[in-house]
């Protein structure tokens, strides 16, 4: 029997807490793309995800999943696709003996994506999406025609390093180790730059992947970076957050001292589809139902997963994923635990529904913020 890689929100009260969080979720508007089927309401989506995830967790707990053959990372209906003849078939990661929990997480991601995305009314391709959602998606998918892959970039999940890799593969940079300020637009090709027929061809024939991260850890990383270091974000977002949520703030705050609870309150009031990309949910950035990704890598296993992708797309041997710089200090689980335990629990229950699809589809555990856990 596999060890359990996922944990509930809280050991005795997790289901109850999640239920309260979902009940707090505002009902969204049903939307439909031009000529496409109607999409499910967010509340219905959440219900479907939780049902699917709960069933998978029960299967894992009872050892049923251990008896099943893992699904291939590529959709079965693409076994004969032309591009597969030019790529090594990624049947699974090479996991060490102690990595069975990572294999389970991959299986859970595959099965949950199929369960949720197979629901009636879910988008089957980008043209099923409303115009605004499709525009966001196409602006976040990078193209390598030379190596025939598509990468959906997610800010705060090593996307700058992936863009550096793409520039090396395109011959624009000599090495991934060049320490230049990253230009996030020039010398890169996005799906949004192409004509519809060119987009469809690449979606059908190219290898497609993205990388994900614990949703709240990603939020904390964005908070620390943008409000602690970037003056533009302090002025554009920080000042407005302080004006909205801090009593007696005055008309012109600097915006350089936003607290984490203030940032969470701001997120509660924001429409996920219109958020800044650094804290927009991955579901809205990359639309994993409308685009059938061949691989979902993990930030927690970044270097190994990234170099495996480079091997699959047959990148030159000298091109490797950049190693993390010695000075870089990512948001750690301990730091996240401290910030979450310092925030009002009711506030967390208001924030979680906006990211519930990211937690469920990508098999990340909800945070344990019980009094017992926070006092350990």
Give, rounded to a whole angstrom, the gap between the first and last alpha carbons of the chain.
Answer: 29
pLDDT band at 165 (very low <50, low <70, confident <90, very high): very high
pLDDT at 88 (0 to 100): 45
Angle at which helix 333-342 crosses helix 215-229, to 10 degrees, equals 80
- Tell me how far apart the alpha carbons of residues 14 and 316 are, in angstroms, rounded to a whole number: 47
Q: Is the dihedral of CA 334, 339, 341, 347 positive or negative?
A: negative
Which residues, other chains included, contact 39 with Cβ-Cβ below 8 Å and sequence gap of 6+? Answer: 30, 31, 32, 33, 121, 122, 123, 128, 130
Which residue in the block uniquely carries the two structure tokens 């991955």?
282
What is the bridge-based pairing of β-strands 207-212 and 295-298? Answer: parallel
3-state secondary structure of 321: coil
pLDDT at 26 (0 to 100): 41
Of 312, 298, 294, the residue nearest 110 (C-alpha):
294
Tell me the domain boundaries of the chain: 99-373
Q: Please say if the pLDDT value at position 94 is more than 70.
A: no
| 331-357 pLDDT tens trace | 888 899 999 999 999 999 999 999 999
Contact 302, 211 (CB under 8 A): yes
Contact 289, 122 (CB under 8 A): yes
Residue 124 token pair? 């089957």
- Tell me how far apart the alpha carbons of residues 46 and 360 are, in angstroms, rounded to a whole number: 9
Higher per-residue confidence, 130 vs 74:
130
| 203-237 pLDDT tens trace | 999 999 999 999 999 999 999 999 998 999 999 99
Residue 92 zone, left/alpha/beta (φ > 0; ψ -120 to 50; rest): left
pLDDT at 102 (0 to 100): 64
Contact 208, 294 (CB under 8 A): yes
Which residues partner with 210 through β-bridges? 152, 296
Backbone torsions φ then ψ of 269, nearest 5 degrees: -85, -5
């Amino acid at each position: 029997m596999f060890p359990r890689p996922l944990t509930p929100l809280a050991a005795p009260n997790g289901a109850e807490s999640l239920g309260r969080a979902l009940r707090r979720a505002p009902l969204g508007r049903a939307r439909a793309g031009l000529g496409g089927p109607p999409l499910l309401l967010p509340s219905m989506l959440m219900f479907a995800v939780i049902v699917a995830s709960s069933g998978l967790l029960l299967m894992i707990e009872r050892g049923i999943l251990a008896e099943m053959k893992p699904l291939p990372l590529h959709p079965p209906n693409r076994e004969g696709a032309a591009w597969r003849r030019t790529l090594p078939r990624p049947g699974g990661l090479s996991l060490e003996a102690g990595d069975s929990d990572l294999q389970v997480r991959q299986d859970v991601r595959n099965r949950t994506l199929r369960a949720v995305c197979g629901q009636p009314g879910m988008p089957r391709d980008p043209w099923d999406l409303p115009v605004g959602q499709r525009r966001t998606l196409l602006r976040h998918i990078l193209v390598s025609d030379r190596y025939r892959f598509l990468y959906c970039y997610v800010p705060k999940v090593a996307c700058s390093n992936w863009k550096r890799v793409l520039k090396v593969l395109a011959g624009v940079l000599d090495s991934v180790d060049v320490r230049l300020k990253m230009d996030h637009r020039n010398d890169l090709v996005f799906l949004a730059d192409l004509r519809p027929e060119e987009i469809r061809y690449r979606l059908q024939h190219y290898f497609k992947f993205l990388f994900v991260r614990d949703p709240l850890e990603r939020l904390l990383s964005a908070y620390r970076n943008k409000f602690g270091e970037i003056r533009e974000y302090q002025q554009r977002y920080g000042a407005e957050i302080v004006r909205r949520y801090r009593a007696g703030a005055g008309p012109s705050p600097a915006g350089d001292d936003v607290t984490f609870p203030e940032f969470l309150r701001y997120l509660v009031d924001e429409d996920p589809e219109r958020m800044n990309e650094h804290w927009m949910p991955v579901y809205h950035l990359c639309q994993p139902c409308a685009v059938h990704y061949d691989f979902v890598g993990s930030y927690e296993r970044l270097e190994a997963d990234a170099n495996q992708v480079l091997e699959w797309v047959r990148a030159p041997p000298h091109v490797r994923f950049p190693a993390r710089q010695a000075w870089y200090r990512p948001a750690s689980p301990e730091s996240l635990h401290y910030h979450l335990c310092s925030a009002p629990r009711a506030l967390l229950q208001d924030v979680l529904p906006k990211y519930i699809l990211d937690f469920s589809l990508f098999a990340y555990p909800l945070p344990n913020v019980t009094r017992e856990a926070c006092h350990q």
